[in-house]
Structure 1
Amino acid sequence: MSPLCVPRRQGKTINTARRTTLAVATSAALALTGIAACGTVENLSAAQKIQKAADKLGEQHSLTVEFGLDADPKVLRRASQSDDPEDALSPTAAKAVGKLRISFSVEASKPLAEARDKDIKSFAFSVGSGKGAELLDVRMVDKTLYLRADVDAFGKTFDTPMPGADELPPEMGPLKDLFAGKWVKTDTSALEELGAGADASGKKSGADKLDSKTQRKLKTDLKSILARRVTFTDKGEKDGTDHILAKAPARALLTDILGAVEDVSDKVPAWRMRGMPTEKDLKDVPNSKLGVDFALKDGTLSGVTFDAAQLAEPGDPVKKGDKFDVVLRFDEPGKITAPAGARELPQGKKGTIFGMDPGLLLGGGPADVDALSKADPGAESPLDEDGFANDPLFRKEFEKQLRKEMDKQFGADWENGPMGDEIEKQIQEQLKLQFGDKAAAKG
């Protein structure tokens, strides 16, 4: 199981409507940063400050962008308990989720505003909580990819059982180091061989990018929307940081932005449009004015904060005034370096990442590597909403943990006891409920 998957019992914090509202409102609010950087809001002096501050980020050769939460654990617990008491976040998990951070750093040979893929010298991606150690690390330095995932630490941080590296099946072989929190490495050509960025014919394609005419139209439309819907107010300086508040009627702004994107949708690959909110989704968004705080340090954009508690309505577990901030932070990274002692993963058979056949890795037959390399990256996944229903490795681990639980409750020899048949029947029913009509494999 990926250390990034949301635990089944720790995955909810707000109800479905609130999740949809938060997702679309936050995304649009944070997108104002890029819009300002494109020079589309020059009609107000406060907006001009944001534009210039964002432009400064583009002048840098390196940047760290961190997405995170700054939320009161008690608020998260209260919200998760209202969804489903059985799925409520534990105090430990709520504390970790409340300080969740996802960070991306990049170094380029050119200013970032001008840099293209070939100009990227190194990058780093990490996931963690608060000031604790990183739970997932990915780095690319000198065309070598480095990875580390501490599954055990992830489980303890988010208070959820996770299979240890020693529990992984033998066929996972060299990947055990990866999930044990040790660094592993491979040449980035292993990724390129999977056809990253290729079209259906297997050739590199630039079709993902909007043409200049379409870009100009979209920017012009967004400029008109912002001029009509958004107000910018200079809130002055606090602790050496300037703050500017942008406010807009959420539903009206999002509806206008969605319309502008749909107007150019025929120029965008269909798979890029998947997951976009619909007009039905936007009905859950309040039409009251929502604010986004832009922080400027020494004239450079340093943060964007959206108070998600603004979405609260009467009767909601999250109340207005609760601490529930969604934050985007910008900073210059330290030097991105290659970690010492990383174990080299085998390249093996051409076309298989790390030299390991993905089909055999999951306990099935050999995979069609050519088909995988040419697959549409936006194609519908065969997995269900939980993401793992058709994953043999996940199913095997799920059944293993289920039987362990029976051992704890009824003793290790329950299969030979008077309740053995009934317990086995319950296990089969649970597996059928979870995975459908597939036959369960004992052991």
Structure 2
Amino acid sequence: MPIIRKSLAAACCALLLAASAACDASEPADAESRVRGAVERLGEWEAVSVTARVDASADEVYAFLRRAQDGGTAPTRADAASLSRMEVSFTVGSDEPLKDTGDGDRLDSGLMVNFGGLDLAGYRSLGTDVYVRADWRRLDAEFGGGHATVSQAAGLARSADGLPPSLAPARDLFQGRWVQIDPEEFDHFARALGGKYGRRAQRLANSADLLQSPAAQHHVIDSVRRALDGHASFRDAGSRDGAEHVAVSLPAREVAGDLADALGPLEERFDGIGFAWLERAPDREVTVDLALRGGTLSKMTVDLGRFLGAEGGKGDGQDDRGPGVLPLTLSFAPGQAVPLRVPEGVRWLDPQDVMAAALYERLGASGS
């Protein structure tokens, strides 16, 4: 759905806002100075983790999605339930403190998506090696069978026990175990196959390029820093729950336009990803709440509705009130929430193994 893609992009903007606070500026205000120091404290570690989740019930998410819908497929209650249960953990690490890494340094990274406490999909990018896993059957159940690719993989998972030993890596993939892949091999195979599978494999290769390329990693961070530098204002927001809070305000439309210009060149490299929608952000301020514990950034909360028109109407009718409130919370911590190490017992997966497993399953089904 369009709303989910926009929400994820808004989350990235809010996340990198914290990084922008570490940029140099003349005579920063006290609140701004504390935020800069809190972000720099995270950079003293060799690994930092961020966990993202929507802080709302399934009913609240569903109401928000319905009001924010701007065409396309209508949201379902299953969509809302999945989004309310979803938690994404991301870890980035290096052999030295993150603040000491340069433009030529590759950063290891890992991501895991869980629903209701169950880890169902993830990746690890370690040096030049990429590892992936997904629990296809549980993902299919979580999505209510509404995602064609996941449902197809779940069908293959149900018959994976019957695959021959030569296709053990494909069996591991469909049974939810870690496998190692070479994204470039999937890229070459995609070009030969073409069609729908080819486009999906091409996107896999392009995404892995971003994960592994030091230039691409630092380009994204530096672009967002430049776009946000000078736009944000900081003010004290008191103390609660054992943390001091700082409110960071920024003009949504102005910052979004700068971000679209800064990130535009990436559209050519990543098929299906666009940033033009940022230029349609509402003309109002967006406030991000930052929580600092022990002088270190620990949490960030932003209302996604402010990026999508909430409170932007005239107030004289229900349809003028915008999509409402949907808080996105990002929690920061030193260390590895997603282990940045080679998974045990991992096998190498060739793209041909996946196609062979699919063909084997079809032949078995037709012969039964």
Residue of structure 1 aligned with 2:158, choices 148, 166, 171: 166
2: CA distance between counterparts of 1:274 and 1:20? 11
Q: What code does the residue aligned with 1:271 have?
A: R
Residue correspondence of structure 1 range 3-82 to structure 2 within 5 A: 12=1, 16=2, 22=7, 25-40=10-25, 43-81=28-66
Residue of structure 1 aligned with 2:112, choices 121, 126, 129: 126
For 1:8, the equivalent position in structure 2 comes to: none
2: CA distance between counterparts of 1:194 and 1:86? 30
1:292 maps to 2:288: yes
> SS at 1:294's partner residue?
strand
Contact 1:25 1:250 in 2 (8 A): no
1: CA distance between counterparts of 2:235 and 2:179? 48
Structure 1 residue 344: Cα displacement: 4.3
Moved more, 54-63 or 167-176: 167-176
Residue of structure 2 aligned with 1:114, choices 100, 104, 110: 100
> SS at 2:118's partner residue?
coil
Contact 1:76 1:89 in 2 (8 A): no
Structure 1 residue 97: Cα displacement: 1.0
2: CA distance between counterparts of 1:119 and 1:252? 32
Question: CA, structure 1 residues 20+206, in 2 after alignment: closer, same or farther (shift >3 Å)?
Answer: closer
Question: CA, structure 1 residues 30+244, in 2 after alignment: closer, same or farther (shift >3 Å)?
Answer: same
Structure 1 residue 331: Cα displacement: 1.0
1:271 maps to 2:266: no
1: CA distance between counterparts of 2:186 and 2:37? 40
Contact 1:240 1:297 in 2 (8 A): yes
Residue of structure 1 aligned with 2:138, choices 147, 153, 173: 153
Contact 1:109 1:119 in 2 (8 A): no
1:235 maps to 2:237: yes
1: CA distance between counterparts of 2:184 and 2:32? 41
For 1:250, the equivalent position in structure 2 comes to: 252
2: CA distance between counterparts of 1:360 and 1:70? 40
Question: CA, structure 1 residues 284+60, in 2 after alignment: closer, same or farther (shift >3 Å)?
Answer: same
Structure 1 residue 276: Cα displacement: 4.6
Deviations 1:42-65 (A, max 9, x none): 532211211111111111012112
Structure 1 residue 102: Cα displacement: 1.7
1: CA distance between counterparts of 2:38 and 2:267? 32
Structure 1 residue 142: Cα displacement: 9.5
Residue correspondence of structure 1 range 252-401 to structure 2 within 5 A: 252-259=254-261, 270-271=268-269, 275-278=273-276, 281-282=277-278, 284-310=280-306, 311-312=309-310, 313-314=312-313, 315=319, 319-320=323-324, 322=325, 324-334=326-336, 336=339, 342-345=344-347, 347=348, 354-357=349-352, 360-361=355-356
Question: CA, structure 1 residues 304+109, in 2 after alignment: closer, same or farther (shift >3 Å)?
Answer: same
Indicate the structure (1 or 2) with the bigger Cα radius of gyration. 1
2: CA distance between counterparts of 1:66 and 1:307? 16
1: CA distance between counterparts of 2:357 and 2:90? 29
> SS at 2:98's partner residue?
coil
Residue of structure 2 aligned with 1:180, choices 175, 193, 218: 175
Residue correspondence of structure 1 range 405-416 to structure 2 within 5 A: none
Point out where structure 1 has 5 or more consecutive residues left out of the alignment. Answer: 1-11, 199-203, 348-353, 365-392, 401-440
Q: Which of the pair has the greater relative contact order for Cα pairs under 8 Å at 6+ separation?
A: 2
Cα RMSD for the two superposed structures: 4.5
> SS at 1:113's partner residue?
helix
Count of equivalent residues: 319
Please report the TM-score for the alignment, with normalisation by the length of structure 1.
Answer: 0.58
> SS at 1:71's partner residue?
coil
Structure 1 residue 19: Cα displacement: 6.1
Contact 1:81 1:88 in 2 (8 A): yes
Deviations 1:351-394 (A, max 9, x none): xxx24427944979xxxxxxxxxxxxxxxxxxxxxxxxxxxx9x
Question: CA, structure 1 residues 56+144, in 2 after alignment: closer, same or farther (shift >3 Å)?
Answer: same
Contact 1:106 1:124 in 2 (8 A): yes
Question: Which is richer in helix?
Answer: 2
For 1:223, the equivalent position in structure 2 comes to: 229
2: CA distance between counterparts of 1:337 and 1:277? 30
Deviations 1:113-167 (A, max 9, x none): 22368676x653211124x120114346798765432112223333336334024
2: CA distance between counterparts of 1:330 and 1:85? 34
Structure 1 residue 176: Cα displacement: 2.4
1: CA distance between counterparts of 2:273 and 2:304? 21
Contact 1:79 1:317 in 2 (8 A): no
Point out where structure 2 has 5 or more consecutive residues left out of the alignment. Answer: 188-203, 207-211, 314-318
For 1:426, the equivalent position in structure 2 comes to: none
Structure 1 residue 291: Cα displacement: 0.9
For 2:200, the equivalent position in structure 1 comes to: none
Structure 1 residue 256: Cα displacement: 4.0
Please report the TM-score for the alignment, with normalisation by the length of structure 2.
Answer: 0.68
Contact 2:301 2:327 in 1 (8 A): yes
For 2:76, the equivalent position in structure 1 comes to: 89
Contact 1:75 1:318 in 2 (8 A): no
Structure 1 residue 337: Cα displacement: 7.3
Q: What code does the residue aligned with 2:110 have?
A: A
